[in-house]
A and B are shown apart, each in its own frame.
Chain A
């Protein structure tokens, strides 16, 4: 005779079965997300659910800042004001020089027939919080798809490049910092125009130039700016300063370590740059059919003229 437990003791499937079920569900999701990126829809729904909590978590910090600024003394303000005025003067001068240089450069560019560079649009954004993941260098900003942020937009602060928008949710977006080890920026050495690619250094918080030849002309203290040839970052944004170069005869490549110029791990405000119009689209391949038709039209028109 078979003994089945009375309904009172029934608790659904055994815990081990449940563990197996949920573990395989998690593993399937992991593979889907890591390999195929199929889970983006689910992710943005979940991120929207977590948004109020994340917003609430930053509220006490904001409040503390507000209280602190309320109690700042007049002397402090006065001092700060004077410093800012001096800085403003210096910056105004620099801006004037920049303006003339820009005009000059535009003229030269017209001369050589290069495409004119358009202004990039910069939208200020606030960093909400850093990702809780110690392995990846990511932050979340308070602009999302609703505010017109697009994946791939470069993000900078007043000093230089901070990173790039990698995921856009409805109300927030995720920015991968230049120090993330999966992140690469094409750069150029200001001093001699040498091009290279800077990869994030991961936990060290530094950048690294990989695949630079052992005899590449690069020195400590060299400033690196974006070269703009990738079509993502506008050219000329400061990225990093070279701090250490290790040349080893055993390896054909030099190891160049650079410190980011922008406040990658500090500061609360950043600019999201968008320069969709700045780059002319790739020229289309010439299509023989189309060309012929336009030829015909032209011929017909010339006939009309003759008549």
Chain B
């Protein structure tokens, strides 16, 4: 990163296995038997946003679409609604990827909140078009909760790429 950036470490390149494992853990968290699903953040969307921002050349729209299909099938909803939302989310994340990393954690989280709200609205639109009632504004708690988790998630996901201090001093 050039001057002015806050990421002071030089990171190792991300491994494909790390990315796959992070998606698996996120899917696992999504499938946990939660009490009220409207309030639980969508971990898969969060992880997807992270990788699209950090590694736009490795994780893009294709990955987003496939993961979305998996989420749809796992939840037994109309096939394609999460695929659509995640594709748009990935597009937004890649588009903003140059910009987001210049900000501090709070402003980054604000950007992420906006993107997650757009994705959630798309799912909502598809549901309403398919003939469902509007479930109430409580559904927007989930993207906001997701954005609140962003600093933690990005810290955790960067960990495997950090070099040891000793390595850096060489």
A residues at B contact (CB < 8 Å): 11, 15-16, 18-19, 21-23, 25-30, 32-34, 39, 42-43, 46-47, 49-50, 53-54, 56-58, 60-61, 129-136, 138, 140, 167, 174, 181, 202-203
Supply 17 further A-B pairs (C-beta < 8 A) apart from A22-B65, A23-B88, A174-B76. A15-B95, A19-B87, A21-B61, A26-B68, A32-B79, A33-B80, A50-B27, A53-B24, A58-B33, A61-B33, A132-B71, A133-B37, A133-B77, A138-B76, A181-B132, A203-B133, A203-B136
Which residues from B are CB-within-8-Å of A56?
28
Among residues of B, the one whose C-beta sits closest to the C-beta of A22 is: B87
Pairwise interchain contact B32-A57, C-beta atoms closer than 8 A:
yes
| A134-B139, A181-B133 given; A49·B70 CB < 8 A | yes
> Contact at B74–A50, with CB atoms within 8 Å?
yes
> Is B146 located at the chain interface by the 8 A CB criterion?
no
Complex Cα spacing A26 to B80, Å: 5
Given contacts A19-B91, A134-B38, A140-B76, A54 and B83 within 8 Å (CB-CB) = no
In the assembled complex, the Cα of A203 lies from the Cα of B136 at a distance in Å of 10
Chain B positions within 8 Å of A, measured between CB atoms, are 24, 27-34, 36-38, 57, 60-62, 64-65, 68-81, 83-84, 87-88, 91, 94-95, 126-127, 130, 132-133, 135-136, 139
Number of A-B contacts (CB under 8 A): 139
Question: CB within 8 A of A57: which of B28, B87, B126?
Answer: B28
Contact assessment for B135 and A26 in the assembled complex, using a CB-CB cutoff below 8 Å: no
Given contacts A18-B60, A27-B80, A29-B80, contact A53 B27 (CB under 8 A): yes
Q: What residue of chain A has the Cβ atom nearest to residue B60's Cβ?
A: A18
Are B31 and A53 in touch, CB under 8 angstroms? yes
Cα–Cα, bound, A32→B81 (Å): 12
* A131 & B87 in contact (Cβ 8 Å cutoff): no
